[in-house]
Every structure is written in structure tokens, then in C-alpha cells.
Amino acid sequence: MEVFSALFERLLVSGGGLVVRERATGAVIGSSSFYEYNEAARDIVVGYTFLARRCWGGLFNRELKALMLEHAFKFVDRVWFHVAVTNFRSQRAMENVGATLSHHVVRESGGVTAEFIHYYIDRPSTMKPKPAERAESSVVKQR
């Protein structure tokens, strides 16, 4: 649990941590985050997504990623996803949302070393970057 506590603290302090709420009830059902924003490359990473077990395999993750992509593409041209090599469910989810597998990387996070698969999605050419807008959604930014 200490690894998760440290991770969540870093994400909240960075300003990229998000709380995921169920639209129907307002209950907290998970979290996700934006991190490693690279202004020069016009890209960002979405990851460290955790959802309540009852929300696995349904539309929750797909809607969450769609909302995060919609928001990110207002500012960047590419969104990366770092998925643990052992997380087959998330790998399938990346394929289902049309992400492209790029490469494998061994990373250290919170004192733990693990192998990750890096996927990406490019901003559709029909979607132009826009000035910042406040979107109404199930995802609430946590400070």
C-alpha cells in the first residue's frame, strides 16, 4: 500500500491526478492521471488508471479514456499510454481504443522496477487544437 500512497501523493501534487466518479451516483470509482507532459514534442502520457473491480470490462474505462483524450487533444498531438507488460486486460483495452503499440521500456517507479509497453494515439487530423475549455464530465480533477 505504501507504493500506491506515494504514487497517488505524487500525482495529486503534480496536478495531473484525476478522481473518477460514477455519473449516476457520484461515487468515487477510481483514478487516472496525466503525466510527463512534453510541450516541445506536444505529447503527454495518460496512465496509472485504477477502477473499482465492478467497473472492469465495461464502458467505464472506455468513457474515461475518451474524455481524457478529448481533453488532451486540445493541447497535444500525441497521447502515450504506459501499460505493464503483465497487464493483459489493459493491453486489450488499448487495442480496443485503437492505440498503436510502439515499444517496450523497463521503468522504475516508487522503488519498483517493471517492464511497460508504450502505446500511443495521435490526434485525429479532423480535430484541431482549441483554446482551453472547461468540459463537463464524470472525471473531476483532484487538487
Q: What is the C-alpha separation between 67 and 134, in angstroms, rounded?
A: 12
Handedness of CA 62, 127, 14, 105 (dihedral sign): positive
Handedness of CA 61, 118, 68, 8 (dihedral sign): positive
Would you state the pLDDT for residue 134?
A: 40
Do the Cβ atoms of 21 and 138 come closer than 8 Å? yes
Q: How confident is the model at residue 13 (pLDDT cuts 50, 70, 90)?
A: confident
Domain covering 2-129: architecture: 3-Layer(aba) Sandwich (3.40)
Domain definitions of the chain by residue range:
2-129
pLDDT in tens, 80-89: 999 999 999 8
Report helix angle 88-96 to 60-72, nearest 10: 60
The pTM of this model reads: 0.78
Would you state the pLDDT for residue 96?
A: 85
